[in-house]
Homo-oligomer: A and B are copies of this chain.
Amino acid sequence: MNLKMQIQYDGTRYDGWQRQGNTANTIQGRLEAVLERIFGTYLEIHGAGRTDAGVHAAGQVANVHIPDELARVKWHGDTKSFEEALLMEMNRYLPEDIGITDIEAAAERFHSRLNAAGKVYCYRIGLPGRKNVFERRQIYPLDTGLDPEVMRRTADYLVGEHDFRGFCSGRNKKKSTVRRLDRIEIREADGELRILYQGNGFLYNMVRILTGTLIEAGQGRRSPESVLEILETGKRELAGYTVPARGLTLMRVLYH
């Protein structure tokens, strides 16, 4: 059977989503270790978004194929459904900063990443002199004020289908860097500024470089129009700085 899972994590102490060689300190690695403990065999888990070190997720999606004979043996005769029993068991063994919020059976051919139609990310910026002590690990504190109107005007140039190669790090020249940004929403409330990004796909560090660029505009250090040249030339050095992973959360993965 093929299971679709909704996953939350505080990425602070992890080296990102993707398992890398022997590094156990990744979200994927932790999830696979728990599955191996439960089923006694290695099962590969496929995540929709390969979040970087320090990036959080409120709604990461992953899928895993579990051989029917393994699923049949486990919790045989339990009153709970297999999915519910697995969710509880995984949460019991996972560390405190990784949690499963939902498990459901999916079509055999479902693949969390290849079938994803879009993703929603949120970047949270703490405004000067204000604090949110309970959510501080998900907020990047800034010590300068920002003009949200200038940031919105800048964002308007970025929405749409563009070649975003100027807004990514370590790009693979063989792969397309064209993506569609469906919306950028900038909201100010409770001493913070939240930037919501929805798009059909995001390049490596793209959200963090877009955010750094919007911050520079909001600080009056660049004009909204300055982003047009980055889109045209694709020059990374013209774009803003890469903001810290800390403020970034993968909110949702969208499917048709």
Which A residues form the contact surface with B (CB < 8 A)?
Answer: 8-10, 56, 58, 87-89, 91-92, 94, 96-101, 128-138, 143
Contacts and interface: CB of A to CB of B under 8 A. Distances in A.
B136 A87 contact: no
B130 A10 contact: no
Interface of A, secondary structure class, is: mixed
Contacts of A94: 131
Nearest to A98: B133
B133 A9 contact: yes
Q: Which of A99, A130, A135, A138 has the most CB of B within 10 A?
A: A99
A99 B131 contact: yes
B134 A138 contact: yes
A143 B89 CA distance: 12
A124 to B, nearest CB: 12
Contacts of A97: 133, 136
A8 B134 CA distance: 8
Nearest to A85: B129
A56 B96 CA distance: 19
A182 to B, nearest CB: 26
Q: Which of A58, A100, A101 has the most CB of B within 10 A?
A: A101
A100 B131 contact: yes
A92 B135 CA distance: 17
Contacts of A99: 130-133
A96 B139 CA distance: 11
A88 B141 CA distance: 13
Nearest to A57: B133
Contacts of A10: 133-134, 136
A129 B96 contact: no
B8 A129 contact: no
